[in-house]
Amino acid sequence: MWATARIRAAHNGRLTALPQLHSEGPFHLRRMRTDGSAAKVGIIGAMSAPLGGDRLALDITVGDRAELEVTTAAATLALRGPTTAAATYDVRLTVGDHATLRWLPRPLISAAGSNLHQTCTVELAATARLVLREEQLLGRAGEEPGHLVSRLLVRRAGRTLLDQCSAYGDPEPGWDGPAVVNGHRAVGQLLLVGPGTDTRRPPVLLREGSKGGCAVLAPLAGGPALLATAVAPASSALRDLIDEAHALALGK
């Protein structure tokens, strides 16, 4: 299956409008009610995806001064498909001047036998604000994960702010070792970018030595940006760690 869904948000002088909501394939886009001037879109899975060989893309553009939040109704489940070829899932996020995007999907689950290459490419204007959360669960209960390769590339004002790639599951060497996930099955990160982000703080390690996982919150060179990276034994513990890092980043 080949499918691309598109969201475009634009500020109309009073509030954020959604001049384009294009659903396709497994992506059903739904406008959600908000109390303020921001817009919110929920993504509902209309069918099982991604499967081996699928080519899926999500293209989101937030125009100047617009404010948009995007979430998903349920976790994304990568499954074995009719072919052993890798599925691809490309997320492209573009945020204009004085605009804000909160990209807050539910977790991606890498089920046994699946093969997925996921990329998230972000283009930010110099005055754009971004809150980006990623959560990945390596296998369902009692099973090994499939093969998952995930890349996050963020450019701000045309310059690379972050470029990282992670790979889990066979045939990746050492992915389950102490230098990577150390036996944990939930991994995630939170990226905060934008004017006013406090990057003066030194890196902070959260819950060091805890069996419930740990996280590190650190500023990025070329910011203003803060990145929290976390590992945990389960989804609920991972979300707690990311929420704790988010509160710390906001000074709460």
Rounded-to-integer distance, Cα 204 and Cα 174, Å = 26
Report pLDDT for 252: 72
In a domain, 130, yes or no: yes
pTM over 0.75: yes
| Domains identified in the chain, total number | 1
**pLDDT tens sequence across 202-215:** 899 998 766 789 99
**pLDDT tens sequence across 13-40:** 999 999 999 999 999 999 999 888 999 9
In a domain, 225, yes or no: no
For the segment 107-123, the average pLDDT, to the nearest whole number, is 96
Domain residue limits at 178: 2-183
In a domain, 248, yes or no: no
Q: How confident is the model at residue 46 (pLDDT cuts 50, 70, 90)?
A: confident
Report pLDDT for 209: 64
In a domain, 218, yes or no: no
In a domain, 78, yes or no: yes
